[in-house]
Amino acid sequence: MEVPVELKIKYLDRRRVDINHLLSSLDENDFDLAIKLGHQIKGNAATFEFPRIGPIGSDIENAAKNGDKEQIRILIQKMASEIKISSQTFH
């Protein structure tokens, strides 16, 4: 069953909010939040038909478990780029 476009757009909007939360979590050294968000993204990206975002969430989760702030920052940028590319398909 295909996910309606409106839900896909909302999904991407929520991921943009997650990016802001992830950046804040890094500033506060809150790796638990980064683990949680990475895990959630990993788990729900495929449901909303964004297979390239899920692995980024998994990588964020793993980097947070290792306390690797620099890698998380790189992955946040990668996710932001993927969200931008995915969003362009709806305009």
Domain segments of the chain as ranges: 5-84
Give the span between the Cα atoms of 17 and 66, in whole angstroms.
Answer: 23
pLDDT at 91: 64
Give the span between the Cα atoms of 77 and 75, in whole angstroms.
Answer: 5
pLDDT at 90: 78
pLDDT at 1: 81
Give the span between the Cα atoms of 39 and 55, in whole angstroms.
Answer: 10
> Which one, of 53, 23, 27, lies nearest residue 40 by Cα?
53
pLDDT at 82: 97
pTM of the full structure: 0.94
Query: Along the 91 residues of the chain, how does pLDDT read in single tens digits?
Result: 899 999 999 999 999 999 999 999 999 999 999 999 999 999 999 999 999 999 999 999 999 999 999 999 999 999 999 999 999 987 6
